[in-house]
Every structure is written in structure tokens, then in C-alpha cells.
Amino acid sequence: MNRQEFLDALERELQNVSEKEREEALQYYREYFDEAGPENEEVVIRELGSPLRVAGMIRRDIGWQEDDDGLAEDDNHEQIAVWEEESEAEGEEKETASESDTSAYTSQGDGQQKQSFPEKVKAFFSGDGKTIKIIMAIVLGIVLLPFIMDVIGFLVGCVVAVAAVVACPLLIGISLIGATIGIMIAVPFAGMVAGIYGVLCIEGVCLIIMGIGLLFTILGVYLLRAFLPFFWRETLKCIRWIGKSVQNI
């Protein structure tokens, strides 16, 4: 393999990283070859090792910057950490990171990620192109917002509908009673003009309607008493379920 083959292979292997990162890496190695001089080209290539391995290390470093109480590779020997990194990393993160480190660095190519999801998320956002990734996340959130709002709206609508159905009889009852009382009071005054039989008729009808109103009221109160606790419990259950699933994500 010669210098150009090495650089070409490296460029190929770094296709997936950002152009800036790729260019910087290539520039570094181009300069490195220049410094070593053409007479040392073979030695350098031998020392650098396989371009795939080099690319893998670079990709890993770009992707998993959080991971770094990782290990320097030395000719594919198994990694034994001599140095514990007491860094700003939180205790929990450090523990799981150092457990996964040995395997992460001894595997080839991209390396296995045995980190848990929150670490992945953190690592994802700490890697290269941090700003872009954050922007993407925000854009995604905005795009999904109508959908989320729809879902919430639907759920709220269901609850409101059911509450309305339950409250309905009560409302009907109260309005009926209120209306009839009003009429009953007003009628005698009108009746002075219309005649006693007319008054009695209307009063009678009003009493019947008031009776219906009372029935509705009683039904409404009964429904409320029966279903309110149930709805309250169910709503609390839903909220708890949502909370749990968000935690488990």
C-alpha cells in the first residue's frame, strides 16, 4: 500500500462523517506523510496500520466522545485500563461506560455500543455536529407537535364528552325546574287577563314539567356520584401510565 492508497481508503471509510471532520482528518494525515518525508512513507504506513482501523477510531471518537475513559490501542492487544479517569462524568455514567469500554475498544470497525439509551442520547448530542443535532431535534419536535396536540386534544375531548353526558341530566333538570318556576310565577299575572281555567291549566303543566325536571336532577346527581370517583381514578391511572412510559423510554 502506498500513501495515496492509504488516504483514499481513509476517505472512503470516513464517508459517513461530516465533511469538515473528514477533511480535517485527511489533512492531518497528509501533513503527517509530508513531515515524515517520502523516504519514510512505508514505515509510516506500517506504523499507522490499516486505514480501516484508523477510520474506525476516528468514527468512534466522533460518535462517542462521552465514552472516553477508553483505551489507547496498541497493536490490537487486549485493553487493560491502568488509569481510572475521575472526570466530570457522573458516577453512574462512568461505571457503565468503563464496563462497556473494554468491549467497545477491542471490537473492530464501529465498535459495539453497550451503553444504555440515556448514555447513547447523551453521547449522540455530545458528538460532532452538536448544534445541528440539537436543531434537528427541535425541528422534529415542532413537526410532531400538531400530532402530539391532536392526540392530547382527542383524549381531552373524550373526557369532556363523557363528563358532559354525565352532567347532562343534572343540567337539564335544573334548567327545567328554573324555567317552570319562572313561568309559574309569571302566569297568575297573565291569568288575570286569561281567566282562571287557563291559569290552572298552565300551572298544572308547569308542575308536571317541574316533576320531570326533578327526576332529571335526581338522575344526574346519582350518575355523578356513581361515576365521578371512577373517572377520577381512571384519569389518575392514565397519567401514571404516561409518566411510566416516558421514564422507560
Partner 1 sequence: MIFNTGAALLDAIVLAVVSRDKDGTYGYRITQDVRQAITISESTLYPVLRRLMKEECLDTYDRESGGRNRRYYKITSKGQAQLLLYIEEWKLYSQKVNQILITDCL
Residues that bind partner 1 (CB under 8 A): 24-25, 27-29, 31-32, 34-36, 44, 47-49, 53-54, 57-58, 60-62, 65, 68-75, 77, 79-87, 128
Instruction: Please report, to the nearest 10 degrees, the dihedral formed by the alpha carbons of residues 116, 122, 128, 133 taken in order.
Output: 110
Q: How far is the CB of 58 from partner 1 (least distance, A)?
A: 6
Nearer to partner 1, 5 or 34 (CB): 34
- Measured from the CB atom, the residue of 72 and 246 that comes closer to partner 1 is 72
Contacts of residue 121, defined as CB under 8 A and 6 or more positions apart, other chains included, come to none
- We find the least distance from the C-beta atom of residue 72 to partner 1, in angstroms, to be 5
DSSP, collapsed to helix, strand or coil, labels residue 73 as coil
Q: Which is nearer to partner 1, 47 or 249 (CB)?
A: 47
Considering the complex, what minimum distance in angstroms separates the CB of residue 99 from partner 1? 15
**Closest CB 44 distance from partner 1, rounded Å:** 7
Environment class of 106 (CB within 10 Å of its CB; exposed 0-12, middle 13-18, buried 19+): middle
Nearer to partner 1, 82 or 246 (CB): 82
Q: Is residue 69 within 8 Å of 94, Cβ to Cβ?
A: yes
Helix (H, G, I), strand (E, B) or coil at 72: coil
Task: Work out the angle between the directed axes of helices 117-126 and 91-106 (0-180°, nearest 10).
Answer: 80
d(CA 115, CA 71) in angstroms, rounded, equals 16
Residue 177 CA to chain centroid, in angstroms?
50
In Å, what is the CA distance from 209 to each residue of 29, 177, 182?
A: 94, 8, 12
Least distance in angstroms from the C-beta of 92 to partner 1:
19
Closest approach of partner 1 to the CB of residue 86, in Å: 7
- Joined grid coordinates for residue 59: 468514527
Task: Decide if 45 contacts 2 (C-beta within 8 A).
Answer: yes
Cell numbers at residue 14, please?
Answer: 470516513
Nearer CB in complex with partner 1: 128/203: 128
Q: Nearer to partner 1 by C-beta: 31 or 99?
A: 31
